[in-house]
A and B are shown apart, each in its own frame.
Chain A
Amino acid sequence: MTASIDSSPARAQTPGRENGEPVARGVSPRRAMLRAFVGDRLAVVALLVLITMGALALLAPVVAPYDPNAQDFSQTLQSPSREHWFGTDDLGRDLLSRMLFGARLSLGAALIAVTLGAALGVLPGFLAGYRGGTVDIGLSRLTDAIMCIPGLILSISLIAVFGPGTLQVAIAVGVAFAPRFFRVARGAALSVAAETYVKAVRAAGAGHTRTLLRHVVPNASSAVIVQASLMFGMGLLVEAGLSFLGFGAQPPAASWGALLRRGSGFMVEARYLSVIPGLVITIAVLAGNIAGDGLQRAVTNQRSSGR
């Protein structure tokens, strides 16, 4: 190494280049991630689908053409038509209206499950990944123990204790999700904790709480956000499954899974009663996964280019 020393005082340099070496103009990592996501057509479409579904669910009382529980025995088992876009069920209730109100339960349950799972799993995961040692061992053992129980069985036994209902299902699914959030958060925090900048702020005098909250959490959270979006689709699916088994919303209220369950009794005379809920569930789950994958790609791209 033959560095000849230039004795001129350090000059102020234009940001963006040093010694002629051009540097990519950067923005905040979060914004770079957003930009990458927006460039991903499919993921954006998927997200728009979910947002539309959410908006329709919120606006259900306004946009639903009929009272979802109003029975009309002159209109039973009507195929989709101009009056009833999704047809009617055996009690003459309008399926479109029931799907719109059902969206509130299904999307709401998935949202609650994901939020609860994240609330229970993420902070302990960050803590375990950052601190390591006995904190990590203890929390990881606990998680392993919970994960030994298959999610469905865990959910069903929780429902057995608290009774059926959409909220109960959401909570049960959320509890079952917590270990997954724990693992993702722990892994992300573990890799952030090994970064030199964590060492640097520790050496500069930052305490553990500050280091965890100001440096580990912001840098590890994108992995958790990706996980949350992927779990949303799974939450929908599990809620649908549990409702299909009869653990979810109780009549006359009905989530998408419950509608599918009722519809499945009329496979021959009114196929649309099961096909439409099934299709909508599938679209929503797919949209959740595609949006989550897009987010994942955006995070990875941002990380490899934003260095």
Chain B
Amino acid sequence: MLEATSLDKSFVVERDALGRVRRSLHAVDDVSLRVEPGRTLALVGESGCGKSTTAELILQLQAPDAGSVVLDGQELTGMPSKLLRATRRRIQPVFQDPYSSLDPSQTIGSGLNELLAIHGIGSSRERVERAQRVLERVGLPSDPRALSRYPGEFSGGQRQRVAIARALIVEPDYVVLDEAVSALDVSTQALVLQLLIDLQRERELGYLFISHDLGVVRHLAHDVAVMYLGQIVEHGPAEQIYKRPSHPYTRALLDAVPDPDPDFQHARRTRRIVVSGDPPDPTQRPAGCSFRLRCPFAHEVCAQEDPSLSEFDGRLVACHFASDVLSSDFSADGEVVEAGPA
């Protein structure tokens, strides 16, 4: 099990002349997540809410200010880099941009070989065989000529397959997919998602699947965590979250999915929530609930008390009025608008 507990990370945005922090940004605020073998936890939220930072904390690419990442009982944060290498094999990344996530000056084969070499896996003959097997598995040509190709010779979808092959070749237990299909066109996206689903079944992989798009997440998530301004605002089984969203932000995200899969969509209400306004400046988080300036359900209490993430209806939610959100066709001042004809 891969478990992150109470991760915290702030960035300094501005310093004064004496080097003291003037403005800082709480990118990840008390985030706890758990990825289990064979299951997918989706982390969703709009751009800049801290998803990638969370991923990098888990991948040990950044050190958290507080909190811990534990892999099968072993603490990873602060682990000496020599020891960390062995555990890095078990948690592999796939990043969003298929154009910048492969070294342009390295052939596909030499890149795959290098990954095996880093972890001392196989003789050089075995490495070539493994590389061919994994390329074949992700649906790419695997002949020796394919191994000697450069990333520049592949399309976006193919590069993302290469990135997946790179993650798989060292036989990890967990894969952190940061917007792994977001840059692909719709049909390629579907193929790559299916590949990910098949691979998970085959190898009992645990996925942390990061996306801003609930429509994509729906296809493979077992659990969903919704992030807003660095905090998890709702976290629970995918079915619960999709069918019975209890945080206004989750509802707004779901209502923004243009053509929902009827099976998975929450009982369609006659009204839907549209979040007004832009995401607030993350360096100036409002006091109280950080969503309150965009929230159609907000009351005075929301300005005074930051709702804590707590158990509600079989999931965790951080909202003072979760039961209202769940049960109501709440309408307030035009911020909850009529659902248009689908």
**Chain A residues near B337 (CB, 8 Å)?**
none
B215 touches A10 (CB 8 A): no
Select the stretch in A17-25, A71-79, A180-188 that faces chain B. A17-25
The answer to whether A14 has its CB under 8 Å from any CB of chain B is: yes
Q: How large is the interface on A (under 10, 10 to 19, 20 to 34, 35 or more residues)?
A: 35 or more
A29 touches B152 (CB 8 A): yes
Closest to A8 in B: B194
**Chain B residues near A252 (CB, 8 Å)?**
none
- A195-220 near B? 1/0 per residue, CB < 8 Å: 11101111111110010001100110
A219 touches B158 (CB 8 A): no
Select the stretch in B63-71, B90-98, B299-307 that faces chain A. B90-98
The answer to whether B191 has its CB under 8 Å from any CB of chain A is: yes
- Considering only residues 1-45 of chain A, those with a C-beta below 8 Å from chain B are 1-7, 9-19, 21, 23-30, 32
Q: CA separation between A305 and B16, bound complex, in Å?
A: 42
State the Cβ distance, A245 to closest chain B Cβ, in Å: 43
Number of interface residues of B (CB under 8 A): 70
* Among candidates A3, A6, A15, residue contacting B158 with C-beta atoms closer than 8 Å: A15
State the Cβ distance, A20 to closest chain B Cβ, in Å: 9
A215 touches B103 (CB 8 A): yes
State the Cβ distance, A10 to closest chain B Cβ, in Å: 3
The answer to whether A92 has its CB under 8 Å from any CB of chain B is: no
* Among candidates B88, B161, B190, residue contacting A5 with C-beta atoms closer than 8 Å: B190
Select the stretch in B5-13, B22-30, B111-119, B243-251 that faces chain A. B111-119
A26 touches B153 (CB 8 A): yes
The answer to whether A307 has its CB under 8 Å from any CB of chain B is: yes
The answer to whether B155 has its CB under 8 Å from any CB of chain A is: yes
State the Cβ distance, A221 to closest chain B Cβ, in Å: 9
* Among candidates B105, B167, B216, residue contacting A28 with C-beta atoms closer than 8 Å: B105
Question: Given the known A-B contacts A3-B193, A5-B190, are A30 and B95 also in contact in the complex, defined by CB atoms under 8 Å?
Answer: no
The answer to whether A306 has its CB under 8 Å from any CB of chain B is: yes
State the Cβ distance, B104 to closest chain A Cβ, in Å: 5
Q: CA separation between A194 and B107, bound complex, in Å?
A: 20
* Among candidates B154, B163, B190, residue contacting A6 with C-beta atoms closer than 8 Å: B190
B153 touches A15 (CB 8 A): yes
- Listed in ascending order, the chain A residues whose CB lies under 8 Å from chain B are 1-7, 9-19, 21, 23-30, 32, 195-197, 199-207, 210, 214-215, 218-219, 306-307
If A9-B139, A197-B102 are given as contacts, then 18 extra A-B residue pairs at C-beta distance below 8 Å, sorted by A number, are A2-B186, A2-B215, A5-B197, A7-B194, A9-B198, A12-B140, A16-B153, A17-B155, A21-B156, A23-B158, A26-B152, A29-B104, A200-B93, A200-B163, A203-B92, A205-B88, A214-B114, A218-B105
